Chain A
Amino acid sequence: MTRSDLIARLAELHPQLLAKDAELAVKVILDALSSTLSRGGRVEIRGFGSFGLNYRPPRLGRNPKTGDKVKVPAKYVPHFKAGKELRERVCQEES
């Protein structure tokens, strides 16, 4: 499923909304998640999972083309951990 499929589904489920509003709703939700993470925050959605940041310490990397050593600074990367309900629902369908 892509972003536009999701927008179409939500528009279907909310017939009182214009398709444009479903699109805006998806944008608002994703922007809110992104900006919270950018501020170093954490978002927990019950039954779905939590979004947070993981620390990556500085390291010495290499330019794969030239073989030169390059300093890679410390950084944070977004991380998602599935919640209990999502974990269970994804796994039981398997069997």
Chain B
Amino acid sequence: MLFAKVGLNKCEAKDMVEAFFEEIRLQLEQGESVKLSGFGNFQLRDKPQRPGRNPKTGMEIPISARRVVTFHPSQKLKTMVEKSYHGTPQA
């Protein structure tokens, strides 16, 4: 990602991009959702424990309760992708 537009040098740009993602991580870590208008929302979901299986051995093991991050793209981003990309499915 290039950063000439803001007038930052390479090092400052790298620092800014890192800070950007770190701030989002910090919020999520603290249990707060992050809403970026025009892009999408990062939300947290608490999942209860559920039964699982080791696919290799077939052994049944419980999957512990956990908190996971989900991303919901904004209508704007969904429309952008739908309108401009009609490629073949990617592997």
Contacts and interface: CB of A to CB of B under 8 A. Distances in A.
Contacts of A53: 81, 85, 90
A25 B31 contact: no
Contacts, number: 137
Contact of B29 (A38, A40, A49, A89): A89
B67 A94 contact: yes
Contact of B66 (A2, A77, A91): A91
Given A14-B19, A40-B85, A55-B89, A77 B27 contact: no
Interface of A: 1-3, 6, 9-10, 13-14, 21, 24-26, 28-30, 32-34, 37-40, 42, 45, 47-49, 51-53, 55, 75-80, 82, 85-87, 89-91, 93-94
